[in-house]
Amino acid sequence: MSESEELHKGLEGVLVAESALSYIDGSVGKLVYRGYAIEDLAQDASYEEVLHLLWHGHLPDSEELDAFTDAITEEAAVDDTVLDALAGLAEADEQPMAALRSGVSMLSAADPDDADPRDLEASLEKGRRIVAKIPTLLAAYDRLRRGEDPIEPRSDLSLAANFLYMLTGEVPDDASAEAMDQALVLHADHGLNASTFTSMVVASTFADMYSSVTAGVGALSGPLHGGANQDVMELFFEIEEQGADPVDYVTTKQEQEDGWRVPGYGHRVYKVKDPRAKILEKRAKELSEASGDTTYYDYAKAIETFFTEEKGLDERGIAPNVDFFSGTVYHQLGIPVDMFTPIFALSRAGGWIGHVLEYQEDNRLIRPRGRYVGPENSDFTPLDER
């Protein structure tokens, strides 16, 4: 390879595809799905509407939405063989993200359609089944590891409400269902992030949709991508346990632990506050005040205020991202902290599927090159002479 060729570590700044699904302007904190501002979608659109938008290119009318929602609801049940396998993983105390990765992969065994992966309509149907079943998988796994029986999905609840119902055994109130639905809308897509790109790389070989989504789950499981919301809540738990002032606690950790960063702070793309963080901040405040316990919301605001007003991090392009407040929202909904990243996957699977289908319409195998920096002209020595 020519030494003059520029190296882009992590593919930073490299354009690898065109997409009509989502657009981010990190300099002003703008996120749109197919031209619609995330603020409008989060306020007025359901997750099902957003899925239809991402997959079909337009917001559905009432008739289209009913048919689309019914089609998802009809696929929500998970085969007993998969549930049995999840029970084995629960006994082994597997982490929820790992259980989800295995569960999505196992779903392919019960798929009724063995169509060629190059059949995009059939792939869309597989994607619909995956999105419908992930909430059931996750809720079942959490119950199984707690020694409780899985709960079958209901046909009269939205995907978000159904997930909370299957997780807790109680139909959520409107505020909880709306909060869960809004969180799913906000996480549904976000350009060519690591997990989306991973799904596309796998799909570019024309592997099946289950392989692509399984790969996306694997990429999202890494702490540099999907785990910050859990880290935020665990930080808040530490502060509460120590009875410490939140600002003193995080500044002390920064001083004592070289390289430690406040989780949920800063973003590879955004140079201002993440627009999704602004929306979830409001939701976290509402849920916390309604519960009568604003402890964790107060921690978040105290830390944000300090780093903004005292340290001026916002002027350096470092501000809260979506994870800084999403953990508080999920905690207020009674969701265990190690389920936060799986919920991220629950939502983002819709975006992965949309990008896979879009890319495969004009597919080209994704095959980057690397610069060789190893030894040259090595003399080979036979085994008996080494």
Least confident of 134-143, 211-220, 221-230, 309-318: 309-318
Q: Could you give the CA distance from residue 144 to residue 150 in angstroms, rounded to a whole number?
A: 7
Q: Are 183 and 329 in contact (CB under 8 A)?
A: yes
pLDDT given for residue 216 in this prediction? 98
Confidence at residue 152, expressed as pLDDT on a 0 to 100 scale: 97
Q: What is the pLDDT of residue 4?
A: 58
Question: Average pLDDT in the 87-91 region?
Answer: 97
Rounded to the nearest integer, the mean pLDDT of the chain is 94
Query: What pLDDT band is residue 1 in, cutting at 50, 70 and 90?
Result: very low
pLDDT band at 5 (very low <50, low <70, confident <90, very high): confident
What one-character-per-residue DSSP string does 52-72 give? HHHHHSS---HHHHHHHHHHH
Q: pTM here? A: 0.94
pLDDT at 268: 84
Q: Which residue ranges make up each domain of the chain?
A: 30-223+337-360, 228-332
What is the CATH topology of the domain spanning 228-332?
Cytochrome p450-Terp; domain 2 (1.10.230)
Q: Does pLDDT of 210 surpass 80? A: yes
Cβ atoms within 10 Å, residue 95: 13
* Calpha distance 49→159 (Å, rounded): 11
The number of residues making up the chain comes to: 386
CA pair distance 331, 336, nearest whole angstrom = 7
Contact 203, 356 (CB under 8 A): yes
CATH class of 30-223+337-360: mainly alpha
Does the pLDDT of residue 386 top 80, yes or no? yes
pLDDT at residue 3, rounded to an integer: 53
Beta bridge partners of 36: 33
Q: Does residue 364 register a pLDDT over 70?
A: yes
Is 225 a known active-site residue?
A: yes
User: Is 267 an active-site residue?
Assistant: yes
> Within its chain, how far is the Cα of 309 from the centroid?
30
Kindly report, residue by residue over 164-187, the tens digit of the pLDDT.
Answer: 999 999 999 999 999 999 999 999
The whole-number average pLDDT for the span 112-127 is: 92
Choose, from 187, 190, 267, 331, the residue flagged as catalytic.
Answer: 267
Q: Which of 56, 79, 111, 225 is catalytic?
A: 225
Catalytic residue chosen out of the listed positions 142, 189, 231, 323: 323
